[in-house]
Amino acid sequence: MKKTKVGIINVTGYAGVELARLLSRHPSVQLTSVTGRSAAGQKLNQFFPHLTDLDLTIEAKLGAAELVFSAMPHKDSAQEIVPLIGAGIKVVDIGADFRLRDPAEYQKWYGVVHPAPQLLKKAVYGLTELYREKIASAQLVANPGCYPTGAILALAPAVKAGLIKPDIVFDSKSGVSGAGRSLSLTTHFSEVNEDVSAYALEGHRHLPEITQELRLLGAKELAVTFVPHLIPMTRGILTTAYAPLLPSKLAKGEKGEAELKTIYLDFYQGEPFVRVLSTPPHTKYTWGNNFCFIYPTVDHRAGRLIVISAIDNLVKGAAGQAIQNMNLMLGLPETAGLEAPAIYP
């Protein structure tokens, strides 16, 4: 069987190298071209020795490929993607350039004029559990951000069922790899180790993405507070979502908790990478795999819904989700190349 040729723009970042790792064992595609400005001319399996079987040269410019992953920062990603779309190549953008549907909202949060607003209507938001059919026929897919993936999946069933008031709080805690490979004082070992800190309280760039998608699910008048935290681990995001329950939507006590779990189980029935648990998940459950684990419950004293979600920010929050989308775009089994369980402990 002929394998589809795929390429990665910017393989030297954490998302790019995680893509290379997962694609190296994919049964139906072949990684044929990778780029990385800072490492151009070097062998991929020498620059990243753990990728021992990938005997590719890191190039300055992308070679021939039928589907391309762009792991570039915002603005730069769109500039790389425009000619690919013009050439009829399928693209999964792991960056932020095509997640927001409103170019004015993009400019507000990212501080630059959108480089390719003409492609915004063409792009499909790549949260597979919500947009599976559109992704399958898309040429350009905007891979979700890591925080929005955990947050949206946590509350999508409750919003769709009309269970909650539109006053939502997300408290998210992320490992340091979410900040990328570039050196900075805030992610220096001595600064992060034995420390937990909140950041972006004035508004994180992932906030409008979360709000946009929850509104599309039915929460029109929406007030979202999103507070991310940096914690001293490499991978993982644990999100706790809080929202007041609407009166009489759920029964009291254990019966209401059972009703809530049924709503979540029904919403995610048949989803290969979402699991609704009976106990709160740990980030370690997801380490290295493409799962999102979710635990919904009710604080009866406060009349509040509480939902915990856990993902690996580099897999379901980036590279794994991108491959899940690629599989759909190429007509492959959605789980291809993503079946491995988590590494534990």
Annotated catalytic residues are: 146
Amino acid in position 126: G
Name the strand (E) or helix (H) holding 274.
Answer: strand 274-276
Pairing mode of beta strands 167-174, 304-311: unpaired
Expressed in angstroms, the distance from the first to the final Cα of the chain is: 37
d(CA 78, CA 199): 27
Q: At residue 167, what are phi and psi to the nearest 5 degrees?
A: -120, 100
Radius of gyration, alpha carbons of the chain: 20
CB within 8 Å of 105: residues ≥ 6 apart: 208, 212
The secondary structure of residue 342, as a DSSP letter, is P
Residue 311, beta-bridge partner list: 237
Helices (H), 140-251: 146-160, 189-192, 207-216
Side-chain-facing half-sphere of 50: CA atoms under 13 Å: 5
Strands 304-311, 237-244: pairing is antiparallel
Which residue has 């007030």 as its token pair? Answer: 223
